[in-house]
Chain A
Amino acid sequence: MDVQIKPGDIPIIDVGGEIDHFAVPELEHRVMEFIDTGHASIILDFSDVSYIDSAGVALIILSIQKTTPLGGKVGLIVIDKNVLKILEIVGITKLVQAFALYSSLDEALADMSGDHSG
């Protein structure tokens, strides 16, 4: 797993590779750093993620649980059809209140920058 952080009003956590039980603790630490320092909204750019398991799903849900009370939102970018299928199976794509699924970073930034929740 590769992680690149792009700080800003809405931080972008750009992840590539496989998000599994081994990778999640480090990724969770980096995501929570932003949320715990007051960023209500974050973008998880999983465009280059080819694999996700229940630990990765748990991280997305934890991020939603942490940002919702702050009035923010988690923007998730997923392209890989297999990763999308896993998210559908566990029902995460139904959490439309506090979460938005995008197919590109441009789309995520355009939408999330406009709602002033960052």
Chain B
Amino acid sequence: MVKKESALEKELRLNSHTKNLSLIREEVEAMAASCGFNENELYQLKVAVSEAAANAIEHGSPQGEQSHIKVSIECDPDKISIEVIDEGVFKARLPVTNGRPSHRGRGIFLMTALMDEVNITEGLTGTRVRLVKVKNKAALDVAEPSTV
């Protein structure tokens, strides 16, 4: 499951199942805590990575539970970068229903609200979501809550 590990980076490869979300959150929390992120930031990281992973599991796994998702975590002195890589195509999962974000739209919205950078890259073999959180930045730059 853990493919690569050091004090500053870790890589997980997991079966594509939502039961693994709590494990992913625990791993990200432990790594980010050891890299000096505060309690608020840890929570925001957990939510964002869990949303990215849930998205990968539910929409980026053509073989269902036999597919895999990969989570890479890398600490720098001033930030943490997390990549969630799946085996599916991203564009089919940008849902808007009646002008409102749906369930999945909310997950993407949460990621962008909680992280300093969210990059989504679609490749031939899968989709890569890259999340970056800068350390000790003022909590939540979201000025106004969005609509549901």
Mark A residues whose CB is within 8 Å of B: 18, 20-22, 51, 53-55, 57-58, 61, 82, 85-86, 88-95
Contacts and interface: CB of A to CB of B under 8 A. Distances in A.
Contacts of B57: 21
B51 A54 contact: yes
A6 to B, nearest CB: 26
B106 A58 contact: yes
B147 A20 contact: no
Interface stretch (B18-26, B62-70, B79-87, B116-124): B18-26
Contacts of A51: 25, 43, 46-47
Interface stretch (B7-15, B107-115, B127-135): B107-115
Interface of B: 18-19, 21-22, 25, 40, 43, 46-47, 50-51, 54, 57-58, 103-104, 106-107, 109-110, 113-114, 140, 142, 145-148
A18 B43 CA distance: 12
B148 A21 contact: no
A20 B110 CA distance: 14
A54 B146 contact: no
A92 B140 CA distance: 17
B interface secondary structure, majority: helix
A91 B147 contact: yes
Contacts of B147: 91, 94
Nearest to A95: B148
B103 A54 contact: yes
Nearest to B114: A89
A85 B39 CA distance: 13
Given A21-B21, A90-B148, A91-B148, A54 B110 contact: yes
A61 to B, nearest CB: 6
Contact of A61 (B18, B51, B148): B148
A54 B146 CA distance: 14
A91 B146 CA distance: 5
